[in-house]
Each structure stands twice: as C-alpha cells, then as structure tokens.
Amino acid sequence: MEQGTSQIVVTGEAFQTIDFEISQMVDKIDNVTTNLKGTAESTDQINNVIQQIASIAQENSANVEETAASVQQQYSSMDSITQNAVSLSTLAADLKNLVAKFKF
C-alpha cells in the first residue's frame, strides 16, 4: 500500500508541475496577446498618420497647381499689358506726328 501511496504522491506532484507549466504558458500567451493588440493599435495609428500625410500631400499638390495656373494667368496678363503699352506708345507717336503737321 505504501508503494501505491507514493505513486499517488508522485502523480500528484506531476500534476502540480503540469498545472504550473500550463499556468506559465497561459501567462505567456496572454502576454503575447497583449503585445499583439498593442502592435495592432500602433499599426492603426501609423496607417492613420500615413493617410493624413497623403491627404496633405494631395492638398499641397492641388495648391501648387492652382498657384502655377495663377502665375501663368498673371504672365499672360503682363504680356497683354506690355503689348497694349507698345500699341499705346505707337499711337501716341502717330498722334504726335499728326499734331506736328498742323503746327507751322
């Protein structure tokens, strides 16, 4: 009977060891799960920041295009003003010549 009792004690100790090891594995799995959740949250935050950066880049691109169009329009206006000034100068010279004919 003593041998049976000692086997029961050894078996009980083995089960306690198994229980302890399983408990440690569960703790480690919980730790990994917590870390994975943190990683997922960080990944989501990074994705949000990347989307914000992309949105800002698109907005900046649109602003650059608008600015370029505005500069082109101003250049065209300046060219038109220059042409009109040359025409006005020519008309003024012609008028001066015509007025000079009437003066003796």
d(CA 3, CA 92): 131
d(CA 26, CA 93): 99
d(CA 4, CA 7): 5
**pTM of the predicted model, to two decimals?**
0.55
pLDDT digit string (tens) for the chain, length 104 residues: 777 788 888 888 999 999 999 999 999 999 999 999 999 999 999 999 999 999 999 999 999 999 999 999 999 999 999 999 999 999 999 999 988 888 75
Q: Rounded to a whole number, what is the distance in angstroms from the first to the last CA of the chain?
A: 154
